[in-house]
Structure 1
Amino acid sequence: MSEIVNADTQSMRMDGADEHTSVQPIRDKAEMPEGWLGSFHAVFGYAADEFLPPLTQFMRHREQELNVVADGHQESGDVLYKGANQFENTDADGGDLVQRSVPGGTE
């Protein structure tokens, strides 16, 4: 026996929009702070030079990981939009099948 699926496609699209809205701020936060890294020696002096390579490596890793998070939000938003469309199309296709199978239907 089939279970009834009740999907609120408008809510799915709103959730998808929320996911997409969060992508750019995360990408902005992920950007390497070139100005800050460029002024490292002027701010901290050359005595702190040994900290620059690991700091740069950390910032590159942070950039990569935050972009992975942003990609996940983008993908989640895309899936929610696609799912909403599929639910609506399936519902419409299923309705057509019912109409064709009842007496007086189009077939």
Structure 2
Amino acid sequence: MCPISRNPTFQMASKVAIREIGIAASPILQILGIVGTACLRNQCSRFSNVRHRSNLLNNRAHLGTLRFAEIAHAKRANVILDTQHLTAIAKLRIRLNRSSS
């Protein structure tokens, strides 16, 4: 198992992505090289329930999880990630690089 797979946030993201959208997020997360928390900019109809999103927002551990599930869903549906998504991913990568060094 690679070091990223042992990261608790990564594991949580995978579990929630599987539960919420029915696919394993792990390969997608490894390809994108992202793990951690991120802002919520949700375009996925599966997460359109406002109460559900509020509950997730209240739990910091789920912020990144929802983001991963959203990206995984977009990849699965062949949705092109827009500039807003790509910017959020880039910011997350920068933040993760800073925290790991």
TM-score, length-normalised on structure 1? 0.22
TM-score scaled by structure 2? 0.23
Q: Give 1 or 2: higher helix fraction.
A: 1
